[in-house]
Amino acid sequence: MSTASTRAHVFQIDPATKRNWIPAGKHALTVSYFYDATRNVYRIISIGGAKAIINSTVTPNMTFTKTSQKFGQWADSRANTVYGLGFASEQHLTQFAEKFQEVKEAARLAREKSQDGGELTSPALGLASHQVPPSPLVSANGPGEEKLFRSQSADAPGPTERERLKKMLSEGSVGEVQWEAEFFALQDSNNKLAGALREANAAAAQWRQQLEAQRAEAERLRQRVAELEAQAASEVTPTGEKEGLGQGQSLEQLEALVQTKDQEIQTLKSQTGGPREALEAAEREETQQKVQDLETRNAELEHQLRAMERSLEEARAERERARAEVGRAAQLLDVSLFELSELREGLARLAEAAP
């Protein structure tokens, strides 16, 4: 009996690498908690299409781990795999995790009760009758073909051709999934490069603002130097013959003052120019080079993205052609079966008419 249900994207760990996740489908599936009264156990069930994607028996030793705000996972030692669920919101993940703890506690109590009562559970028993079993496989040509297999007729050449076409169709689907994965990876890389390009543009704008501020400061210093030169020139005025030696001393003081001001001017100029301008120029060139490199990389990724899109379209077209070929083969098989049926009926009539 179902105790709780939710919808989530189902993943399984890659058995080869034990690191990457393999999605069970492109869309979210229904994931439910079931109580198996026959075996007195709790299960997590998720059915996709005609097969059970998840059929995990909850044990007291299991642990459901939240790896992010919307993703959680648990390991099933009996199935020798790790299941992962991606939810639409953090609230759904929290509710599923809380229900997992409740079911695990109920499984622990059921195990203790079973051990105390001396009851034995057989792992060969299946799910209870009220649970939803996986749907039976239906052949591509309807129930007539299924009856033919049950009669173990090996005369028709259709099954070999049909298996070959099914294999071609499955290979086309795997190739399409791989192309789509690479396509999404390129899109993600393109988005990252676009973000880096925006950051580089913002840094370049900041450098421009700092350069303008330094230029304004240099202009202000030039104006200050001009004011000091004008002030020094205005102080050097003739005071008349009455001053005598005092006038000569004043001229010497003014000349010393002018020299001091000149030295201050040279110091200010060396502070505003020289190494700082060279450093700023080098930093501007480096920023421009980075921007150019990012633009070049972005253009290459766009070219690769367009190539991947063309390859994806070709893979989809090949898949459609394979489907059409499967349909034609199915029609030919139906015709062959019909002719075989007529031939059997004719032979039967001949046998009955024979003395």
Question: Over the stretch 322-337, which tens digit does the pLDDT of each residue have?
Answer: 888 888 888 888 888 8
What residue type is assigned to position 79 of the chain? A
Phi-psi category of residue 80: left, alpha or beta, with phi > 0 → left and psi -120 to 50 → alpha: left
Confidence of residue 253 (pLDDT cuts 50, 70, 90): confident
* 250 vs 311: which has the higher pLDDT: 311
**pLDDT tens digits, one per residue of 205-230:** 888 888 888 888 888 888 888 888 88
Q: Which residue in 323, 309, 229, 307 sits closest to 268, CA to CA?
A: 229
Highest mean pLDDT among 48-57, 230-239, 240-249 belongs to: 48-57
User: pLDDT confidence of 247, banded at 50, 70, 90?
Assistant: low
> How high is the pLDDT of residue 354?
75
Which tokens hold the place of 135?
């749907």
- What sign does the CA torsion over 189, 193, 194, 199 have? positive
Q: Is 262 helix (H, G, I), strand (E, B) or coil?
A: helix
Most confidently modeled range among 93-102, 138-147, 276-285: 93-102
Q: Are 46 and 40 in contact (CB under 8 A)?
A: no
At 161-196, the pLDDT tens digits run 556 555 555 555 445 555 655 666 676 777 788 888
Percent helix / strand / coil, the chain, rounded to 5 = 60, 15, 25
Rounded to whole angstroms, the Cα distance separating 290 from 201 reads 10
Mean pLDDT, residues 106-111? 88
CA distances from residue 272 to 157, 218, 230, 279, 283 in whole angstroms, order as listed: 91, 6, 22, 12, 17
